Structure 1
């Protein structure tokens, strides 16, 4: 058997490590390839030539017509891992190719190769125009990304102790954004130890991050890391979008999906990750259509992919600094930190709310060092077999408590009030009451936090609100779910009316709107709308946020249609 044949055999064997291999790497029929031809153009490659490379923008989806292409994963430490060999009738792509983001794998020609190349815009057109074929391709793209994440060998390499604040922060950022990565412990991994020897990091340098091109970053910010791996996007040109959606939680994603699917050009901006607070929920069981529940990450990841499928430009992470509503040239201007302003004909405020910080002395000292505002598998790993404390009485707190109870030895649920019935869904209350290692502590509040020399949380103190009783426990992880404040500071000075709590006032509630016909979700500034948790009077539920995100699209069509009419 020749070398090419041996490589193909090895590649076929590798398929066994993938879930649902027949769906992950399907082979197209000649008839299906013919249907695809008018969406692409023929491209040829010589033996050994790269079709795409890790860390460089992907040109789109390739359909192999002749020859074979070896797919491998490569990290910044030089490790190369075979993924699969793909031949005639198979297509080369994963979710990155929907938006032209950097490739997560290498594709190298084995012998001369002839392909059809579909650039991202033509790939999206194919997915929409060919429903049945598009479904098969989309399923494969999703499964391939899942396998890359679960493989734990590609993407940026994080080097540092698993419990360090920087490691937890960056792992959470990459996980929430569906980015493959892996962590190496310098005390156990030889390659990691070699990098440590070369760069001699200080404690505040953890983690070191090695990008695909070999560049090494010392405890980078999320924006710095995103820039290094090619994640950060901005306006692709000087275009004026139909609508800018600020916030990529359930409400913003719903707006993006429905608006983009109906032909509007959409830009979505978020400071950290898609999904918002809902994306951090371990399990959502009261959302329509999921009787067994679904994690917030899984639910919002589907919407994120759906929005990209319809052509929405999603820009993460970017910080929105302000909104200019003067419209001197007929467009709103969204000021961004570190890049040129983004311009749009309409704006949807979906920026949600930021986690509220209770008044506890030295709280900021322990944030990311034992104090957490969400409960993901990353934080749960740190709590294995330990006693943890959780403060809160809403649905988010209940979901987190149930989730953590499967990892921690005991969960102390500290509740300021005298019960849960007024703030938590009944199904969660019943589940908490049935979970033996969750202990409810009513009419109680935390009074102090204590740490060690490394500023890691080691002990908490609390007291009863009904007596002078005080108590303490050695607890290294504290989870806070005490509500949230609206993220509306970026709206200062643009004329959008806020209520006393800082939430955006919409519809007839706004004094500025009285006397004129306005849509229910329109703010005091024509062309600016608000949906989801940031809106005054919203129900603060995932289903409500998604409903408002879909509802606002009809108002956007009406506003944009009126704006396009010539003046009489």
Structure 2
């Protein structure tokens, strides 16, 4: 195996050489020391390291560099090596830079120059960071390859699965030379695609999500039969419950059907979350939360779909789609919501994953370069997606059924959209038809005020309309409102058919009609659809779980 990399970047040649010399003297035997004199040069070095499948353990970056500050560089470096430990260097105390770095790049250490003697001021810091990195190293960035067709719904689903689980991969078109070479080497033809090729050289032909997850090292099977707390759903609410459950000593398992983060995890930028004045991407925020949960001993299962919830004796039983079960003393439901589909639009259903995407589909953004992207919806999720796609597309058209954005979108986001010249907002507009050969090629748009229709060229349509709770599997188990959202606490009908009547008490605030089962986040009826409120409910649910466990 190649030696893990320690990278240092500083625009002062003398300081850069001194840092590299000190690091090489102490760590050169077991690590490769890479030195760069600018943020751009360091990013290029990181890209080359990633292409070679090597790992980066620690990054030390000077804050006061021209063209790209240390914080800006570290934020971009996180996309390439999210688990590398990060150190910010400065020649004097810079409180503002330190706070920014902690908020934006999850800084591991802040180091003042000079650090003479290094034996006292530099090496102990690096030793500690290397030890932390060894406990959770990066996966080699070139291990997993997907070979498929450009307009393939299943190829997109696999790319989305790996990207949202922070698994580096490469996608190759089957008719490109490299894709053809990989298929030939794996002994596969083009008749059955996509093909996933693992780092060990195993070819998975048309694999299921669970097969891919297991091969790339994600946990898919529970290690125990009984837990103190089972959390169903890995969005902000579920992650909040898992972190607090694990930190308070509960044996906790978190079950997620696709990837931790939920809808929030696909957001390109969350700018109104407390403590992040410069914003944070949904993937960064939820990846930190997942790592935090694992640090507290939480077991995280991915690509596992829960299909049933029941009671057996004194425990709650979760049943998976393969018929297997786990038991828990308490359960938190945090399954969130899914975007509503445009099933009533003629022709549109056929292009799901083939030009039509429900949600941000962040893996597709770079493929939209210099093209026109259509975004359906007028709430924050649609606005954040439009801002993200505007970084790549030559034109972004927002299709909004209402008369304006003001009733459904945050003010700060409206101002950002108005400041981007190539984002066009078309109000009172809806999609009424779609057509194409093998993938989306045309849309028919209708002006809801005048009834006039317009047929436009379109290869990219991203839909963010409404929210449908993921609660069909709870039918007959817990009480829900007429839209399918789970009722809890005081919102339960009186007399309650569950918690109140069966135990002679009123249900706890976030407790459902089934005693010992709680609901948090978007899936809960009457909840505030914001990341911060979901995290708060997750934390509150754990305190209520303790009350439930103590008084049962």
Report whether the alignment pairs 1:559 with 2:544: no
Q: Which residue of the partner structure matches residue 246 of structure 1?
A: 232
Q: Which residue of the partner structure matches residue 506 of structure 1?
A: 488
Q: Which residue of the partner structure matches residue 166 of structure 1?
A: 154
Give the direction of change, closer, same or farther, for the CA distance of 1:220–1:229 in structure 2 (3 Å limit).
same
1:536 CA displacement: 0.3
Structure 2, unpaired ranges of 5+: 11-15, 33-50, 59-82, 84-124
Report whether the alignment pairs 1:223 with 2:205: no
TM-score by length of 1: 0.73
Q: Which residue of the partner structure matches residue 198 of structure 2?
A: 211
Higher alpha-carbon deviation: 167-176 or 132-141 = 132-141
1:187 CA displacement: 4.4
Report whether the alignment pairs 1:279 with 2:261: no
1:324 CA displacement: 1.1
Are the aligned partners of 2:242 and 2:254 in contact in 1 as well (CA < 8 Å)? yes
SS at match of 2:237: helix
1:195 CA displacement: 2.3
Q: Which residue of the partner structure matches residue 233 of structure 1?
A: 220
SS at match of 1:457: coil
Q: Which residue of the partner structure matches residue 110 of structure 2?
A: none
1:200 CA displacement: 5.0
1:360 CA displacement: 1.4
Q: Distance in 2 between matches of 1:374 and 1:555?
A: 33
1:392 CA displacement: 0.2
> CA-to-partner distance for each residue in 1:59-110, whole Å, 9 max, x for gaps?
xxxxx9xx9699xxxxxxxx98565899xxxxxxxxxxxxxxxxx9xxxxxx
Are the aligned partners of 1:158 and 1:210 in contact in 2 as well (CA < 8 Å)? yes
1:548 CA displacement: 0.3
Report whether the alignment pairs 1:533 with 2:503: no
**How does 1:387-406 map onto structure 2 within 5 Å?**
387-406=372-391
Report whether the alignment pairs 1:543 with 2:532: yes
Give the direction of change, closer, same or farther, for the CA distance of 1:392–1:380 in structure 2 (3 Å limit).
same
Q: Distance in 2 between matches of 1:457 and 1:186?
A: 20
Report whether the alignment pairs 1:522 with 2:508: no
Report whether the alignment pairs 1:259 with 2:251: no
Structure 1, unpaired ranges of 5+: 1-6, 30-63, 71-78, 87-103, 105-131, 564-568
Q: Distance in 2 between matches of 1:367 and 1:397?
A: 18
* 2:476 aligned to which of 493, 513, 517: 493
Are the aligned partners of 1:223 and 1:232 in contact in 2 as well (CA < 8 Å)? no
* 2:448 aligned to which of 448, 460, 465: 465
> CA-to-partner distance for each residue in 1:482-523, whole Å, 9 max, x for gaps?
0210001121232x1101110010111112166833321011
Q: Distance in 2 between matches of 1:546 and 1:474?
A: 41
**How does 1:114-153 map onto structure 2 within 5 Å?**
136=129, 140=133, 144-145=137-138, 148=139, 152-153=141-142
Are the aligned partners of 1:275 and 1:296 in contact in 2 as well (CA < 8 Å)? yes
Are the aligned partners of 2:316 and 2:328 in contact in 1 as well (CA < 8 Å)? yes
SS at match of 2:534: helix
SS at match of 1:412: strand
SS at match of 1:338: coil
Give the direction of change, closer, same or farther, for the CA distance of 1:244–1:384 in structure 2 (3 Å limit).
same
Report whether the alignment pairs 1:428 with 2:413: yes
Are the aligned partners of 1:488 and 1:502 in contact in 2 as well (CA < 8 Å)? yes
